[in-house]
Chain A
């Protein structure tokens, strides 16, 4: 059992959101990375997600594998990045992520891990 809770964070694009600003978002990104490296931090694991056109979707139905090329109509927006973070609870995770640049220039989806089961 972990001392702190874990969350999958999906950084999403948002066509309506403002563009990246060095002045506003630069310091926020630096603060995020500093926090991650600090005592309240976690093992760095954030990754940029490639464009939707390079993604693939797999479905197996009655033993038949179907692989679909992106982009996918069900995703209006796409993923900028994905990472795995630790926080004491959802409120803290939300507070941390509201200060992340992608909350301003995109959107951030925070999904808790299921804790009652071993791995997957």
Chain B
């Protein structure tokens, strides 16, 4: 592992304008080898039909499928990586075959949730940011 402390979540999604998947064009093993020093772990994910959206409102739990209207493009997998900067994380993501077969979201991570106080801070900061967005 290199001395990169900042973590990024690479979230792979489908994309209608992407090139169709082909095994010959899938160079995932080259990617895995190239980014071994940056990669913590990653997995492929199941299709939309196997996922569930969980909410609790006024004490009642609702379990539904992930709404197609909201998640038009589904998540095919993810990798957790470390990088010294977001630019480097983007560079790593751009070399992943899913950048061609779909899209890659690069999500900077802000550190672990280790206490409820920390989650509350995050939630409040998020609400503030949302309120500031026109």
When chains A and B are docked, how far (Å) is the Cα of A119 from the Cα of B110? 25
- Determine chain A's interface SS by DSSP, over half rule: mixed
A3 contacts partner chain B, Cβ-Cβ < 8 Å: no
Q: Which residue of chain A has its CB nearest to the CB of B99?
A: A60
Does chain A have a CB within 8 A of B127? Answer: yes
A-B pair number, CB within 8 angstroms: 195
Of the listed residues B28, B72, B89, B122, the one surrounded by the most CB atoms of chain A closer than 10 A to its CB is: B122
Instruction: Return B62 CB to nearest CB of chain A, in Å.
Output: 9
CB nearest neighbor in B for A49: B107
Query: How many residues of B are in contact with the other chain, CB < 8 A?
Result: 66
Binding site for A on B (CB under 8 A): 7, 9, 15, 17-19, 28, 32, 41-46, 50-57, 61, 63, 66, 70-73, 75, 77-80, 86, 89-90, 93-94, 99-100, 103-116, 118-120, 122-124, 126-127, 129-130, 133
Cβ proximity bits A25-50 to B, threshold 8 Å, 1 near / 0 not: 11111100100000000001111111
Of A6, A57, A76, most buried by chain B (CB within 10 Å of CB) is A57
* C-alpha spacing A93/B78, complex, angstroms: 19
